[in-house]
Amino acid sequence: MTFSNRLISWYLENRRDLPWRNTTDPYAIWLSEIILQQTRVVQGLPYFEAFISEFPTVFDLAQAQEEQVLKLWQGLGYYSRARNLHQTAQQVVAQFEGQFPKTYQELIALKGVGPYTAAAVASFSSNEAVPVVDGNVYRVLSRYFGLETDIASAKARKEFTHLAQEVMDKQRPSDFNQAIMEFGALQCVPKSPNCSDCIFNDSCWAFQNDKVALLPVKSQKVKITNRYFNYLVVFDSEDATLIQKRTQKGIWHNLYEFPLIESEKELNENEIKERVATQFSEFQPLLFLVAYENQSRLHKLSHQHLYIRFWRLEISGKLSSGISKKEAIKKPFPAVVFNFIENYF
């Protein structure tokens, strides 16, 4: 039995029952793929169900306000995916009259759709024989066939895509693509896979050569930047607060937050008071300032570590742009800020 046949047989016996596997609707499949990028299935499933419920068609998503999309996305991270999701829906409505494309070449031209997503949607919706290549596929192929190409290198995608195309069952590309990703997610996992109970332990190169833990090879390391965020949670004499939209490029674009003092190190209470006095004249006279928690919260992003602290400020006057707490929580926030709001607001 060939690699692809054994893989598909394993998949048909072990696959998870997931809603996007029970449809050939390219819109629903595309939606699931965008949500599941850099997100585990257990975390992404409730978001998929919420999006399909709120936006059952691409027209519904295209007509939504960006803030509505970001609010529904809140907590998933990588918010550029949500903005691209919204813009892609608008592109499909404008360019394809709402008929979501099914072919790889049409899909790859959409905003925010790369080779992996285009291949996934094309194969799952119309059974087009194009291979998917994601982290799971890199891992399975590198271990089984003994490929020691650095997956962070420029040539890796082309090499692995070619191999996946070679071993793919051309009669069942959808099943093959689903199978190899599911196998990587459930069986051939990154750390400590159960190789003794694997269907390929008699033919897997890495297992036979005791190199499972060494594959796939990935040499590129991410440089981490430390940033220090001090959020000012201000309340005026009428218990109104103040939030602002992050319009600058970078993390959390178009999400909301409290007034921010970003510093090069952690600041104490006196230093915060000094910064407030010089940077926020509208918060004078200041009646009260205290940290909500004794230490900063560490929030890890792919390239940044954010040390976040929330400070409660009370002022005697009235905020000119004050907003009620009830109205504030309707806005889309970064997950770490919204978690604070749920606990302290």
Q: Which residues are catalytic?
A: 33
Q: Which two tokens stand for residue 174?
A: 């959808």
The C-alpha atoms of residue 247 and residue 212 are separated, in whole angstroms, by 45
Q: Which helix (H) or strand (E) holds 244?
A: strand 244-245
Which residues, in sequence order, are CB contacts of 14 under 8 Å at separation 6+? 182, 186, 187
Rg (CA), the chain: 24
**In whole angstroms, how far apart are CA 322 and each of 220, 253, 283?**
46, 22, 12
**In whole angstroms, how far apart are CA 10 and each of 6, 194, 208, 252?**
6, 15, 20, 40
**In whole angstroms, how far apart are CA 207 and each of 37, 146, 159, 187, 279?**
28, 9, 22, 13, 60
The C-alpha atoms of residue 82 and residue 124 are separated, in whole angstroms, by 22
Strand, coil or helix: 195 = helix
Strand, coil or helix: 316 = coil
Structure-token match 């490929």, residue found = 147
